[in-house]
């Protein structure tokens, strides 16, 4: 058994979303989509809302959030 067999799994990151970028507050491998609850690997994170500080899995989820919150 080595250190990689200890059961350390993916962890959820805490992110501060900025305009066109984000800052990792607590390291992790993924964030959760605010609409679907799906895990979004950090290297695939492309959609978020700065004002609501929410991540979205894809353009459809981002649009759903936009409509849901009375913005569209």
pLDDT in tens, 2-59: 455 555 678 999 999 999 999 999 999 999 999 999 999 999 999 999 999 999 999 9
Structure tokens at 28: 């992790």
Whether the predicted pLDDT of 64 surpasses 70: yes
Residues 8 and 62: their CA atoms lie apart, in Å, by 31
Q: What pLDDT, on a 0 to 100 scale, did the predictor assign at position 1?
A: 43
Residues 21 and 9: their CA atoms lie apart, in Å, by 26
**3-state SS class at 26:** strand
Q: 30-32 and 21-26 as β-strands: parallel, antiparallel, unpaired?
A: unpaired
Q: What pLDDT, on a 0 to 100 scale, did the predictor assign at position 4?
A: 52
Count the Cβ atoms, other than its own, within 10 Å of residue 47: 18
Where in the sequence is the domain holding 61, given as residue range(s)? 3-68
Total count of domains within the chain: 1
């Amino acid at each position: 058994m080595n250190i990689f067999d200890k059961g350390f799994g993916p962890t959820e990151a805490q992110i501060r979303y900025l305009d066109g970028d984000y800052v990792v507050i607590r390291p992790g491998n993924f964030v959760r989509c605010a609409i679907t609850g799906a895990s979004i690997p950090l290297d695939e994170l492309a959609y978020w809302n700065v004002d609501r500080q929410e991540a979205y899995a894809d353009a459809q989820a981002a649009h759903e959030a936009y409509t849901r919150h009375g913005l569209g």
